[in-house]
Amino acid sequence: MIPPTSSSTPGAPMGSSGPDNSRQRLIAVTAVIIVALLGVIAFLLVNKFKQDRQSTELTTQLSESETLKAELEKQYYDALSQLEEMKGSNSELNARIESQMEELSSQKAKIDQLLAGKGSLDKARSEIKKLNGQVEQYLAEINQLRQENLALGDQNRQLSEEKQTLTGDLEAQRASNQELASAKEALAGEKARVEQERTVLAKKVDRASMIAVQGVEVTGLKTRDGGKSVKKNYADNIDQLQVCFNTTANDVAENGKETYYIRIISPLGETLAVEGLGSGAFTAADNDQIRYTMSKEFNYSGTPQKMCSVWSPGQAFSKGKYEVEVYNKGYLAGKGSVVLK
């Protein structure tokens, strides 16, 4: 109860002032309490609204984060599944797919960290979009590599078929070459046999057509001052040796140019020869090379004839027996001798 005061309102009656003041004060206090309560209620309502909004935002953020995480998981494992299905027997292609999977795993871990933090959803969305593009790029790259590998496989199969064809052709060609080589070898053997027979026949013909000589005479000569040559028998008194012989008729020999090779053998068994005087060597019938002293060419007409050749070496002769051999077509056609005293 409010105690009475000594103050009074001017012009008011003295008997009614106490109860009115108390009621007014009560009303004022009540009004103050009501205003305070309203303020508290307003504060609580505003705070609750903020908390509700923050809770709603957090719920929304968490919901969106979970959605993005679920989307990320789905896209990631779908990409892994597609890449895994693209593996095959090509080790290089499989290695490339494994490398792409590792890159996707690193990218997913990065996005997981963004989703776990606050205020990173926009960046996470951007990274997920980037991941999608990366997956599409990887799949396109692998598809292109697979197409290239298929094309290479077709090309390799075609090359293998061509190789087999070429190998078959090569084997056929080798067999043909072997047959040709065998035939060539047989022909070479036949040719050698024919050549040998022809050589034998040629030798037989040469032997049969050889023009023999008779009456081989060897005479020592001495040249006089007037140029006339006279016969001498002493070695120290001659400067020339004259060889004369008679040809014989041969029905097998053909008419034409013929050559006699005359060989003068000294008492020491050496063939007298001076290159500058027409000496040389001829091939005998047995293919031996025989040196000759001088040669005599003539035209054979089928009738016998006498011919002579003189050897003037420009040096002294030694004493002893000189042998003379006359060859035609590689065969010995006749021979004679002389003894110089």
Chain segment 290-322, per-residue pLDDT in tens: 999 999 999 998 889 999 999 988 888 999 999
Place of tokens 């609204």: 49
Of the candidates 319, 295, 296, which has an alpha carbon nearest to the alpha carbon of residue 238?
319
Check pLDDT > 90 for residue 265. Answer: yes
Residues 228 and 280 in one domain: yes
Look up residue 204 and give its two tokens.
Answer: 């037989």
Residues 153 and 223 in one domain: no
Q: What rounded mean pLDDT belongs to the chain?
A: 80
Calculate what percentage of the chain has a pLDDT beyond 70: 83
The residue with greater pLDDT, 34 or 11, is: 34
Residues 161 and 217 in one domain: no
Check pLDDT > 80 for residue 243. Answer: yes
Examine residue 113 and state whether it is found in any structural domain, yes or no.
yes
End residue of a domain, out of 169, 203, 228 = 169
Given this model, what pLDDT does residue 206 score? Answer: 62
Check pLDDT > 50 for residue 10. Answer: no
Q: Which residues pair with 265 in a beta bridge?
A: 271, 323
- Burial status of residue 266 (CB atoms within 10 A of its CB: 0-12, 13-18, 19 or more): middle
End residue of a domain, out of 169, 184, 219 = 169
Examine residue 199 and state whether it is found in any structural domain, yes or no.
no
**What average pLDDT does the segment 253-273 reach?**
92
Residues 332 and 224 in one domain: yes
Given this model, what pLDDT does residue 328 score? Answer: 93
Residues 27 and 154 in one domain: yes
Q: Which residues pair with 321 in a beta bridge?
A: 339
Examine residue 86 and state whether it is found in any structural domain, yes or no.
yes
**Residue 3's pLDDT band (cuts 50, 70, 90):** very low
Q: Specify whether the CB–CB gap between 261 and 326 falls below 8 A.
A: yes
Residues 26 and 165 in one domain: yes
Given this model, what pLDDT does residue 12 score? Answer: 46
Q: Specify whether the CB–CB gap between 273 and 255 falls below 8 A.
A: no
Q: What is the helix (H) or strand (E) element at residue 296, kind and residue range?
A: strand 294-300
Examine residue 201 and state whether it is found in any structural domain, yes or no.
no
Given this model, what pLDDT does residue 86 score? Answer: 76
> How many folded domains does the chain comprise?
2
The span from the CA of 333 to the CA of 337, in Å, is: 14
Given this model, what pLDDT does residue 280 score? Answer: 94
Residues 144 and 30 in one domain: yes
Check pLDDT > 80 for residue 114. Answer: no
Going by the DSSP 8-state scheme, the letter that residue 2 receives in this structure is: P
Calculate what percentage of the chain has a pLDDT beyond 90: 24
Look up residue 201 and give its two tokens.
Answer: 């026949």
Residues 34 and 115 in one domain: yes
Domain that holds residue 242: 211-340
Given this model, what pLDDT does residue 34 score? Answer: 86
Of the candidates 289, 287, 307, which has an alpha carbon nearest to the alpha carbon of residue 298?
307
By DSSP bridging, strand 240-247 and strand 306-311 are antiparallel
Give the chain's length.
Answer: 341
**What average pLDDT does the segment 323-341 reach?**
92
Sign of CA pseudo-dihedral 134, 135, 140, 146: positive
Residues 162 and 217 in one domain: no
Q: What is the CATH number of the domain that holds 310?
A: 2.60.40.10
Given this model, what pLDDT does residue 214 score? Answer: 93
Given this model, what pLDDT does residue 199 score? Answer: 58
Q: Specify whether the CB–CB gap between 310 and 295 falls below 8 A.
A: no
End residue of a domain, out of 169, 188, 223 = 169
Examine residue 204 and state whether it is found in any structural domain, yes or no.
no
The span from the CA of 13 to the CA of 183, in Å, is: 166
Examine residue 36 and state whether it is found in any structural domain, yes or no.
yes
Examine residue 225 and state whether it is found in any structural domain, yes or no.
yes
Given this model, what pLDDT does residue 268 score? Answer: 93
Residues 32 and 163 in one domain: yes
10 phi/psi in degrees, rounded to 5: -65, 135
Q: Specify whether the CB–CB gap between 298 and 315 falls below 8 A.
A: no
Helices 91-116/17-85 angle, 10° precision: 180
**Residue 1's pLDDT band (cuts 50, 70, 90):** very low
Examine residue 151 and state whether it is found in any structural domain, yes or no.
yes
Residues 122 and 255 in one domain: no
